[in-house]
Amino acid sequence: MNPALLFLPGAALAFRLVFLGYQISAGVGVWRSANAFLARRGGGGASITFGDSTKAVGAKTVVLLLVVIHGILLLRN
């Protein structure tokens, strides 16, 4: 994106909305990928290792932290 466009009226708001939409879709993808990772590892009789569980919990924690941060930013404005 051209930074000069941010000085146009409404361009900053449009950029924020597009960026928020991207973060929402990326967060949903990460959350669903963590679930699929655990389902793939847990299915078929193999047990889930501590490392696998930590990866999924870490991914979901980052998504939750981003939701909280965006919630706080929206309430401040």
Say if residue 15's pLDDT is above 60: yes
Report pTM. 0.71
Is the CB of residue 1 less than 8 Å from the CB of residue 27? no
Distance (Å, whole) CA 69 – CA 77: 13
Residue 34 CB: number of other CB atoms within 10 A?
A: 19
Is the CB of residue 31 less than 8 Å from the CB of residue 59? yes
pLDDT digits (tens, 9 = 90+) for 34-72: 888 888 776 655 677 888 889 889 999 999 999 899 888
Question: What pLDDT is attached to residue 53?
Answer: 86
Say if residue 75's pLDDT is above 80: yes
Task: Give the pLDDT mean for 21-37.
Answer: 90
Alpha-carbon distance values, 43 to 35, 57, 58, 66 (Å): 12, 18, 21, 30
